[in-house]
Amino acid sequence: MENSSVISVVQKLMQTQNLAVLGTSNGDTPHCSIVNFSATDDLHSIVFATYRDTRKYANLKNNRRVSLLVDNRSNQENDHHQAVAITVFGNARELAFEEKAPFLLHHLIKHPSLVEFTDSPNCALILVEVEKYYVVQQFKIVTELYPTPLDKQ
C-alpha cells in the first residue's frame, strides 16, 4: 500500500474518532483505559487529559511507554471488510504549563465538552510523542507508518 494512502487513512481516523484505548503498564501489569484524544495534523503527537490521581497517570509517571488503539468498528458483520484499527506507539509526558496552550486549544476544538474537566487543577494534559502507527485494514492488510521527523519537513 502506498505511503500516501496510509497517511490518508490514519489522518481520517484520527480526525473522526473521539475515543482511544490507552495502554499503560506498571512493571509487568498492563492497564487499559478509554480516553478522549486529539492528534496533531502532522501526526507527530497525540494529546489526552487525565486526572493526576488515576492509575493511568501513576503508570505514565513510572513508565512513559504507551500504546493507543483507535478504530472505526461498528460491531456489524461488514467490519471484517471495512474496519480499520490503528495502534499508536510512543512516549507520554505531562505538558508543562508554558507549552500547554496550543495543544489544549486543539484538543478542546475537537472536544468542547471537556472544558470544565481540563480546567480542573487536578487535570494533566498528556502529550504522546508518536514513534509509529501500526495500521490494520480488513483484518489482514498491515502497514507501519512512521511520522516524518520534524527536522526533515
pTM of the shown model: 0.91
Per-domain residue ranges of the chain: 3-145
For residue 1, the model assigns a pLDDT of 39
For residue 140, the model assigns a pLDDT of 84
Distance, CA of 112 to CA of 104 (rounded, Å): 11
For residue 149, the model assigns a pLDDT of 62
Q: What angle do CA 114, 83, 21 make, to 5 degrees?
A: 35
Distance, CA of 37 to CA of 55 (rounded, Å): 18
Here the cell at position 46 is 497525540
Q: Averaged in consecutive runs of 10 residues, what is the pLDDT profile of the chain (153 residues)?
A: 79 97 94 98 97 97 97 79 92 97 98 98 98 91 81 46
Question: Domain 3-145 belongs to what architecture?
Answer: Roll (2.30)
**CB–CB of 22/34 below 8 Å?**
yes
